[in-house]
Amino acid sequence: MAASVARVLRSLVRPSAAASLVSLSPRRFLAGGAQFQYIVVEKKGAKQNVGVIQLNRPKALNALCDGLVNEVNQAIDAFELDPHVGAIVITGSEKAFAAGADIKEMQKKTFQDCYQGNFLAHWNKVSLVRKPVIAAVNGYALGGGCELAMMCDIIYAGEKAQFGQPEILLGTIPGAGGTQRLTRAVGKSLAMEMVLTGERISAQEAKQAGLVSKVCPVDKLLDEAVSCGEKIAGNSKLMVALAKEAVNAAFETTLTEGSKTERRLFYSSFATDDQKEGMTAFVEKRKANFTDH
């Protein structure tokens, strides 16, 4: 079983080449020899411990077709299983992170198609993984692209990035968490304005509103996101997963219930080797050597 998993992972990712991510040809393979058509996958960082997924559908500005979403989900699963990967970065091109869902795919869908087929439910995979996911957003993050970015745990934006939920202009509303995550991130008033008018906000406005944690020069964005991923990956992966769960509880529960969840997770950390190692290293004034146990 372990050998088969290793083969799958080796077929999905390879160490970073000297060329930049944007210039890499999308020749990445799934188990069984099938090629990725819509994404480029690799590992980055000095220790090759940050998984990078680049959306690679340039002619459509990385519009999120069903095939692209399925490939992202497969890559996410592979990185989740890879014990050497401590964080994941999702990015696009300098022009577009993702300009939205593929309208041509959904144009003729009926209510019955959407309801019976549970349309868009599989888009949620990014928000369910235990490892932290960082969105590195350059250019357009609109509609489904904005929703994908908000499913990630951290959002870094290039200086020219634009965020928006323009579904209202197409005669519909956000369907992959846009009304919910945007409101939690920026508050009711700005979320209402963006959703009801379809207007966009800049990277600087997104930072001021709390949607984005850092704004970077366009050509430095991916490096900054990978650097953040390396810092995360250098910690105990077990503790990172507990911490992520605790923070996410703040969005899902009341303050009282969230605090109880945090306390239970805090207590559970004392049953691990990494807690003992971390505190012992602090007392002994040395760097901790975490083993993820």
pLDDT over threshold 60, residue 20: no
Check residue 31 and give its pLDDT: 44
185 is catalytic: no
**Local confidence band at 1 (pLDDT 50, 70, 90 cut-offs):** very low
Determine which one of 99, 167, 177, 229 is catalytic. Answer: 167
How many CB atoms are located within 10 Å of the residue 258 CB?
Answer: 17
pLDDT grade, residue 28 (50/70/90)? low
Between these two residues, 48 and 115, which has the higher pLDDT value? 48
- 75, 101, 141, 191: the active-site residue: 101
Q: What is the pTM of this model?
A: 0.86
From 144, 158, 164, 278, active-site residue: 144
Q: What is the mean pLDDT of residues 107-113?
A: 84
Average pLDDT on 15-24 reads: 38
pLDDT at 5: 38
Catalytic residue status for 101: yes
Task: Identify the active-site residue in 147, 161, 164, 191.
Answer: 147
pLDDT band at residue 39 under the 50/70/90 scheme: very high
229 annotated active-site: no
Average pLDDT over residues 239-260: 95
Known active-site residue 33:
no
Mean pLDDT confidence for 97-119 = 85
C-alpha span between 250 and 137 (Å, rounded): 24
13-27, 80-94, 147-161, 182-196: lowest mean pLDDT where? Answer: 13-27
How many Å apart are CA 177 and CA 194, to the nearest integer?
14
Residue 115 has φ and ψ, to the nearest 5°, of -70, -50
